[in-house]
């Protein structure tokens, strides 16, 4: 295949990906605005019962059902701190391509974690460059050809930042950042 045919094929693929999102990713938008689980909605619905005794009976019944659903792990109840901890633990892992390209809604963009600060807990080299372990248990591998001016050392402060199109950069001791990917 000639370069012209490859370029035309690449443009066609890109066009198909940008022209189809309203259809292909409609489910993602619906998922982003899901209603709360039925067990929770039923507890809230008890507020609409006018008489005190039936309202209390409704709450007792629905809270018991909610507790049972939580015990069976059919519903998970998490506060904001637990969600932030989970986001931090997943920071750096690959995201679905649709979200990466901006399709499927962007409601959580304002709350998306943009960078984290941590400390280096291990330093090594791999075939592609630096291999850094951090105190949160994550391991990052270099995927560009830049280098740090000063070699990273255990205990150094590091900032891991989200770049564009799913890339991440790591800066150690305030030095110029290098591109890295999370491997663990």
Tell me the per-residue pLDDT of 89-132, one tens digit each, with 9 for 90 and over. Answer: 777 776 554 454 444 445 555 567 788 899 999 999 988 888 89
Say if pTM beats, i.e. exceeds, 0.75. Answer: no
Tell me the per-residue pLDDT of 27-70, one tens digit each, with 9 for 90 and over. Answer: 444 445 678 888 888 889 999 999 999 999 999 998 998 888 88
Residues 6+ apart with CB under 8 A from 26: none
Residue 136 has phi, psi (to 5 degrees) of -80, 0
State the Rg of the chain over Cα.
24
pLDDT at 119 (0 to 100): 93
What are the sequence ranges of the domains in the chain?
26-77, 95-182
State yes or no: pLDDT of 23 exceeds 60: no
Count other Cβ atoms within 10 Å, centred on residue 96. Answer: 12
Tell me the per-residue pLDDT of 134-150, one tens digit each, with 9 for 90 and over. Answer: 998 889 998 888 888 88
Separation of alpha carbons 94 and 90, rounded Å: 9
Do 128 and 142 touch, CB atoms closer than 8 A?
Answer: yes
Matching residue, tokens 């110029």: 176
**Per-residue confidence band for 165, with pLDDT thresholds at 50, 70 and 90:** confident
Q: What percent of the chain has pLDDT over 70?
A: 72
């Amino acid at each position: 295949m000639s370069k012209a045919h490859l370029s035309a094929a690449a443009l066609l693929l890109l066009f198909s990906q940008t022209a189809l999102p309203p259809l292909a990713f409609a489910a993602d938008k619906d998922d982003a605005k899901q209603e709360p689980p039925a067990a929770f909605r039923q507890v809230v619905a008890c507020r609409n019962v006018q008489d005190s005794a039936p309202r209390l009976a409704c709450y007792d019944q629905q809270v018991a059902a909610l507790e049972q659903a939580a015990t069976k792990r059919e519903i998970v109840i998490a506060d904001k701190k637990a969600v932030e901890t989970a986001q931090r633990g997943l920071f750096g892992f690959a995201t679905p391509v649709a979200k990466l390209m901006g399709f499927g809604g962007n409601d959580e963009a304002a709350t998306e974690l943009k960078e984290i600060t941590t400390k280096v807990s291990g330093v090594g080299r791999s075939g592609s460059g630096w291999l850094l372990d951090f105190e949160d248990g994550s391991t990052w591998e270099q995927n560009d050809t830049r280098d740090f001016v000063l070699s990273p050392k255990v205990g150094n402060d590091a900032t891991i930042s989200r770049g564009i199109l799913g890339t991440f950069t790591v800066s150690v001791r305030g030095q110029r950042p290098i591109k890295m990917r999370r491997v663990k």
